[in-house]
Amino acid sequence: MQKHKNIFFYCGLLMLFSEVWKQWCLTYILNNGHYNWWYFPFQLCSIPMYICLILPWIRSPQIYDAFLTFLMDFGMLGGIFAFCDTSGMYYHYPPLTIHSFAWHVLLIILGLYAGFTIGKNISIRNYLKSAGIYLICCVVATIWNLLFHPYGNINMFYISPYYIMAQKVFCKLALILGNNAGIAIYIASTLLGAWIFHCIWIFLKRGLKISVNSLF
């Protein structure tokens, strides 16, 4: 287990250093030294970085498995579906565009590695715990969106009530049903999408009986 924790940690460090570089580029190359809170790293696709950084210090097997489940369900979901709408991954500074694509590819790789690493410990309970992590992040994001809106553009998790839902499909629902309803449907759809990923992992584990250790 410690070997796997170290690999996640090194990936987390790589993501952290690249994120610091990204924030520097956004601030000083693209925004004339002014920080844009829109790009603060607290989105669904940012959470895996924090999880990877803290995994080596997690001693509880239950919490450890919940974090791995988050990576293999919600992390992979964010990584894969980012490629369904890549408009937000392009920047006027090409290295940032490369970074954005590489980041989401890494999310997919981390999700796969987490899925194989977790072994047979895939259950509905693990999904519920990872869903709890996601919902807690949504609550934190909402609090930040409300508190810091007066100080700049901020839309953590893209669920700020001050901005019209911009995600594909959900933006159309928001126009028809209202923005708050669009946000609620977006969150519910994310939970459903992660659950579908979780069911696929259960099928793979029970049907193929594979683990990361069996591949080497």
> What does the pLDDT look like over 17-61, one tens digit per residue?
999 999 999 999 999 999 999 999 999 999 999 999 999 999 999
Q: Which amino acid is residue 50, in one-letter code?
A: Y
pTM of the model: 0.93
User: What percentage of residues in the chain have a pLDDT greater than 70?
Assistant: 95
Mean pLDDT score of the chain, rounded to an integer? 92
pLDDT of 210 above 60: no
Q: 42: left (phi > 0), else alpha (psi -120 to 50), else beta?
A: beta
Predicted pLDDT at 212: 47
